[in-house]
A and B are shown apart, each in its own frame.
Chain A
Amino acid sequence: MLRYTLYRLLLFVPLLWGLSVVVFVYIHLIPGDPVQAMVGSSASQEFVAQLREEFGLNRPLLVQYVDWISGLPAGDLGITFRSRQPIAPLLLARIPATLELALAGLLIALLVGLPSGILAGLFKNSPFDHLFSIVSLAGYSMPLFWLGTLLMVWLGVNWKVLPSQGYVPFTQDPLKNLQYLVLPAFSLGLGLGPYIGRMARAAVIEALQEQYVNYAHAKGLRMRTVVNRYVLRNAMISLLVVFGLNIGFLLSGQIVIEELFNWPGAGRLIVRAVLERDYFMIQASVLIYASIFLAINLLVELLHAYLDPRVQLK
């Protein structure tokens, strides 16, 4: 296990490097000149040239890249185009809020999706399964922000049960922080729940068709044993893998929910950067988001290797 972990970690390095190249090249894909695109076509030639000079965009590409990447290990992500602020502290300040929402949303999604999906899978074609299929498909078809809006209007605005928008840091007032968390977390969780539920159902059904489940019955094992040790254990492992592949869905849902609830997370920062066409900010936040994404994937893979004895073989 230790060797495998080291091996995967080692593989992670070139992956990150590849990512940095892609993200760096991205800014140069902009039709025409990036600076021109950022300031608009009405800006004068001299102004553009001056900005190019200021941001070092007139140097050879390789020099720019080396300059950019050598700052990364020290946490230097460059400065924003508009306000000339260092990007790293800006992003860093948003990580706690983003993480909090993501974890809370995921937890709710798992609590909603796992039991219902597993039950539907175990009792395939039962009335519950049919109900589950319809409800989950509807949930799956529902725009996340719409669900969020409904929750916000009913619970937040009309009934005044919960604060509908905003954020208070946990360190400042834990209770308030949690109050503000409830609506966004439920919107995210209820939106993702059907997704997870459907994956869980599929995984259980797949496991049920395995011969070892049939053979477990032939050995006369109790239903409980068969379900826990033979069906669910295998289904959860394959669910973990599918989940790892779909983790991006969580990340995109997160962006929308942050925007809807004015949640000061990193997702909103990206949206603002895109709207303002601040390429340096886009570059940096995409790099961070994608690294987080890859890191979660790595984690899932390690967990998979830990749970499934067949993985470490190769």
Chain B
Amino acid sequence: MDFLKRLRRYPVALAAGLCILAVVLTALFAPVLAPYDPDEMDTATRFAPLGTPSHWLGTDEFGRDILSRIIYGSRVSLLVAFAAVAVALAVGGVLGVLAGFSGGMVDVLLMRLMDLLFAIPALMVALGVVGLLGPSAFSVVVALGVAYTPLFARIARSAVVGVRSAAYIEAARAMGASPARLIRCEVLPNILPILLVQVTASLAWGILDEASLGFLGLGVQPPTSSWGAMLTTGRQYMYQAPSIALFAGAAVLVVVFAFNLFGDGLRDLLDPRSSR
């Protein structure tokens, strides 16, 4: 893999990539890694402080192990973020390709709509969608999916328009190649780098926005452990158990930072003009 070889010249991005991998593995193997069941309550050990031998990060208001809740919380964060980006990629991709291939009025209308949606901050769009569907993980996925759609629609459209005008496409079309084939063979390879960078950046946003919504009480509902929700409860018990909010926030920060670093490195790496 040429890509992996080149990645080695970007140690920061590589480290960030490994960090992401570690988080993904943590989410996958949460039951193995977490010392406790995240929902297991133990009223005897409420608000155990940081550094308690049996509970390294302490316990929360119900005596639940904070470390275990953070480990399980990674599942919600990653799942919601990945699902939201997948929705945005699918919907945005289809809309962008549609706009690009059909041109004319369809193109103008679709892209104006995307511009409008893009102008509204993601959190606002999410507020609207959650207002419609009620707070839940599903709503958050739909909300963020909708909010990120214009990003991918734009990329897809510009790629299609760029390729459509190329002479060899005309030739391929004349020879009876189907649009689906054109997209797979001509459009996709061209935009893969930008798409990859955009996906990484969107994942970072997704995790942040999920946590924000969770914090506002509009995300995943208790008792499911999510980082955003932990921050809300953590705030109420700031005196008794500061580590709830502290570590939940730190988890968000680390993961988002890793995604952003990786995305930055990826952009440099995939930039044909990069001189390194």
Q: Is the CB of A26 within 8 A of B123?
A: no
By a CB distance below 8 angstroms, the chain A residues around B121 are: 248-249, 251-252
Interface centre among B131, B242, B264 (most CB of A within 10 A): B131
Question: Judging by beta carbons under 8 Å apart, are B261 and A282 in contact?
Answer: no
Pair B212/A271 contact, Cβ less than 8 Å? no
- Chain B residues with CB below 8 A from A145, complex form: 211-212, 215, 231, 249
Which residues of chain A come closer than 8 Å to B132, judged between CB atoms?
Answer: 26, 29-31
A137 in contact with B260 given A145-B215, A149-B234 (CB within 8 Å): yes
Are A153 and B242 in contact, CB atoms less than 8 angstroms apart? yes
Asked whether any CB of chain A lies closer than 8 Å to the CB of B105, the reply is: no
Which residues on the A side are within 8 Å of B131 (C-beta)? 273-274, 277, 279, 282
A104 to B239 Cα, complex, angstroms: 28
The interface bits of chain A over 281-299 (1 if a CB of B lies within 8 angstroms of the residue's CB, else 0) are: 0100010011001000100
Q: Are B122 and A142 in contact (CB under 8 A)?
A: no
Contact between A143 and B212, CB atoms less than 8 A apart? yes
Q: In the complex, A276→B264 CA distance in Å?
A: 40
Cβ of B120 within 8 Å of any chain A Cβ, yes or no, is: yes
Residue B130 interfacial (CB < 8 Å): yes
Q: With A and B bound together, what is the CA distance between A289 and B238 in angstroms? A: 32
B residues 225-271 touching A (CB-CB < 8 Å): 231, 234-235, 238-239, 242, 245-246, 249-250, 252-253, 256-257, 259-261, 264
In contact, B238 and A157 (Cβ under 8 angstroms): yes
- The CA-CA distance from A153 to B244 in the complex, in Å, is 13
Known: A137-B264, A149-B235. A274 touches B245 (CB 8 A): no
Q: Does B128 reach chain A (CB closer than 8 Å)? A: yes
CB of A149, distance to nearest CB on chain B (Å): 5
Q: Does A255 contact B (CB under 8 A)?
A: yes
A272 to B130, CA, bound (A): 12
Q: How large is the interface on B (under 10, 10 to 19, 20 to 34, 35 or more residues)?
A: 35 or more
State the majority secondary structure of interface residues on B: helix
Is the CB–CB distance between B128 and A26 below 8 Å? yes
> Nearest residue in A to B130 (C-beta to C-beta)?
A274
The answer to whether A248 and B253 have CB atoms under 8 Å apart is no
Query: Which residues of A have CB within 8 Å of B111?
Result: none
Chain B residues, CB < 8 A from A109: none
B-chain residues with CB within 8 Å of residue A133 when the two chains form the complex:
264
Q: Which residue of A lies closest to B121 (CB)?
A: A248
The reply to whether B238 and A149 contact each other, CB–CB distance below 8 Å, is: yes
Number of interface residues of A (CB under 8 A): 41
Q: Once A and B bind, how many residue pairs between them come within 8 Å at the CB atom?
A: 111
Chain A proximity mask over B127-167: 1 for CB below 8 Å, otherwise 0: 11011111100000000000000000000000000000000
**How far, in Å, is A85 (CB) from chain B's closest CB?**
19
Tell me whether B218 and A271 are in contact (CB under 8 A): yes
* Residues from chain A with Cβ under 8 Å of B135 in the complex: 275
B residues less than 8 Å from A252 (CB atoms): 121-124, 212
Which of B124, B238, B249, B259 contacts A143 (CB under 8 A)?
Answer: B249
Residue of B nearest to A133 (CB): B264
User: When A29-B132, A141-B256 are in contact, do A146 and B245 touch as well, CB less than 8 Å?
Assistant: yes
CB distance from A209 to the nearest CB of B (A): 12
Q: Which of A143, A255, A274 has the most CB of B within 10 A?
A: A143
Residue pair A256, B218 in contact (C-beta under 8 Å): no
Roughly how many angstroms separate A154 CA and B133 CA in the complex, as a whole number? 37
Given the complex of chains A and B, what is the CA–CA distance between A161 and B135 in angstroms?
A: 37
Contact A274 B257, beta carbon cutoff 8 Å: no
Q: How far is the CA of A137 from the CA of B124 in the complex (A)?
A: 23
Instruction: List A residues 170-224 near B (Cβ within 8 Å).
Output: none
Checking A142, A153, A290 against B120 with a beta-carbon cut-off of 8 angstroms, the contacting residue is A290
| A91 at the B interface (CB under 8 A) | no
Tell me if A270 counts as interface (CB < 8 A to partner B).
yes
Q: List residues of B (179-203) whose CB comes within 8 Å of A's CBs.
A: none
Scan A136-162; emit 1 where CB is below 8 A from any B CB, else 0: 011011111110011011000100000
- Judge whether B238 and A144 touch: CB under 8 Å: no
Please tell me which one of the listed residues A31, A286, A297 contacts residue B128 in the complex, with CB atoms under 8 A apart: A286
State whether the Cβ of B208 lies closer than 8 Å to any Cβ in chain A.
yes
Q: Given the complex, which residues of B lie within 8 Å of A297, measured CB to CB?
A: 119
25 pairs from A and B in contact (CB 8 Å cutoff): A26-B128, A30-B132, A31-B132, A133-B264, A141-B204, A141-B259, A142-B249, A143-B212, A143-B215, A143-B231, A143-B256, A144-B212, A146-B245, A146-B249, A150-B249, A152-B238, A157-B239, A248-B119, A255-B127, A259-B216, A271-B127, A274-B131, A275-B135, A286-B128, A293-B120
Contacts A142-B256, A252-B212, A271-B127 known; 12 new A-B pairs at CB < 8 A: A143-B211, A143-B215, A146-B252, A149-B238, A150-B249, A248-B119, A249-B121, A252-B123, A260-B235, A271-B216, A286-B127, A290-B124
- Considering the complex of A and B, which 7 residue pairs feature the smallest CB-CB distances, nearest first? A248-B121, A146-B249, A252-B123, A141-B256, A141-B257, A252-B121, A274-B131
List residues of B whose CB falls within 8 A of some A CB. 119-124, 127-128, 130-135, 204, 208, 211-212, 215-218, 231, 234-235, 238-239, 242, 245-246, 249-250, 252-253, 256-257, 259-261, 264
